[in-house]
């Protein structure tokens, strides 16, 4: 890592310099490298590419506490804060409002986001065989623990199933995303979503940490496998947000993981006078994988994200 060699069986924490703040303070990427005693795959685990999404930090902390490099095959590269600028201002973005996850693979002389993306690609992604990128919901929304990935790639799908989050959502690649940059390097990338920005969500952290360890086990990196899955994940190829048709105060009536059917009321929206009130009904069948956390809504605001599943999966509860 950089010019630094890490002995087998050791965990080391390094700092890769990124840039200085206007105050002169040096900002660096915090990188933990667990180097196993036997050769094996190199897997990166990253979080806080969006600087306000914090569950991934706790996932990485939990994974590193449970990982013994003396019983590891291969190498784990953990970067708990990728957006080192966003994290200090509790912001999703870089100081110039650029989205780091639209800035990959980056360049050494572009905007700050591009330079940070470039550093990550050169120092972390290029050395890895598999990547796991940890996120949460954004903009006052919370997400059911879920993997988003390319289900059409067999190895990616195998790893996504091994992760064991309740839902796997097929997601096409977006330009500038870390997943797309991983694909260009031939590296399968799983994107984990769970919980909401700014907050820790214990359940999402637990599912995330177990999932990361299960992926390590499925790659033959661990001596002992984590506990077996109690429930096979369901796969969805499409998700749709149900939106507000008018502004008001929203009383959502569905929870994450809940199965909903066509015609079901998912929210009541009423205005400040109390004179106008209407029910928002679903036209979809599926599982709630994301929901708004805030009460105030404007016309067109996203309320409930529904993963559309096969009929067989609709009978399951989560």
Binding positions for Zn ion, rule: CB under 5 A: 50, 53, 135
CB-side neighbour CA atoms (13 Å) of 60: 28
**And the tokens for 130?**
């598999």
**Shortest separation between residue 135's beta carbon and Zn ion, angstroms:** 3
**And the tokens for 295?**
């009460």
Comparing CB distances to Zn ion, the nearer of 46 and 218 is 46
Residue 142: burial class (beta carbons within 10 Å; 0-12, 13-18, 19+): buried
**Shortest separation between residue 56's beta carbon and Zn ion, angstroms:** 9
Comparing CB distances to Zn ion, the nearer of 91 and 253 is 91
**Shortest separation between residue 256's beta carbon and Zn ion, angstroms:** 17
Alpha helices for 40-88 (secondary structure H) = 55-66
**Shortest separation between residue 47's beta carbon and Zn ion, angstroms:** 9
**Shortest separation between residue 130's beta carbon and Zn ion, angstroms:** 19
**And the tokens for 91?**
């912001």
Residue nearest to Zn ion (CB): 135
Residue 112: burial class (beta carbons within 10 Å; 0-12, 13-18, 19+): middle
Comparing CB distances to Zn ion, the nearer of 68 and 99 is 99
Residue 194: burial class (beta carbons within 10 Å; 0-12, 13-18, 19+): buried
Comparing CB distances to Zn ion, the nearer of 53 and 235 is 53
**Shortest separation between residue 301's beta carbon and Zn ion, angstroms:** 19
Q: How far is CA 46 from CA 16, 31, 53, 134, 169, in A?
A: 14, 9, 11, 6, 19
Question: Distance between CA 111 and CA 277 in Å, rounded?
Answer: 47
Comparing CB distances to Zn ion, the nearer of 50 and 170 is 50
Comparing CB distances to Zn ion, the nearer of 82 and 221 is 82
DSSP assignment letter at 116: H
């Amino acid at each position: 890592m950089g010019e630094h060699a890490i002995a087998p069986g050791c965990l080391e924490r390094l700092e890769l310099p990124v840039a200085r703040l206007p105050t002169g303070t040096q900002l660096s990427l915090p990188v933990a490298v667990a180097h196993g005693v036997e050769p094996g795959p190199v897997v990166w685990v990253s979080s806080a590419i969006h600087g306000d999404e914090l569950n991934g930090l706790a996932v990485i902390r939990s994974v590193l506490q449970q990982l013994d490099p003396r019983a590891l095959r291969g190498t784990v590269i953990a970067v708990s804060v990728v957006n080192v600028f966003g994290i200090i201002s509790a912001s999703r973005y870089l100081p110039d409002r650029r989205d780091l996850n639209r800035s990959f693979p980056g360049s050494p002389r572009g905007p700050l986001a591009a330079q940070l993306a470039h550093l990550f690609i050169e120092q972390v992604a290029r050395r890895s065989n598999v990547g796991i990128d940890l996120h949460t919901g954004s903009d006052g929304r919370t997400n059911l623990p879920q993997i988003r990935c390319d289900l059409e790639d067999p190895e990616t799908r195998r790893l996504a199933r091994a992760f064991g989050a309740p839902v796997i959502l097929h997601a096409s690649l977006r330009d500038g995303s870390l997943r797309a940059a991983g694909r260009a390097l031939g590296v399968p990338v799983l994107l984990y979503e769970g919980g909401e920005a700014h907050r820790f969500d214990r359940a999402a952290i637990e599912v995330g940490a177990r999932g990361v360890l299960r992926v390590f086990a499925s790659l033959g990196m661990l001596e002992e496998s984590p506990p077996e899955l109690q429930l096979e994940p369901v796969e969805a190829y499409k998700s749709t947000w149900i939106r507000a048709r008018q502004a008001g105060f929203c009383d959502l009536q569905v929870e994450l993981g809940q199965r909903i059917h066509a015609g079901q009321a998912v929210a009541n929206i009423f205005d400040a006078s109390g004179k106008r009130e209407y029910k928002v009904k679903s036209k979809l069948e599926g599982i709630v994988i994301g929901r708004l956390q805030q009460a105030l809504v404007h016309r067109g605001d996203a309320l409930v994200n529904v993963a559309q599943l096969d009929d067989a999966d609709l009978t399951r509860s989560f």
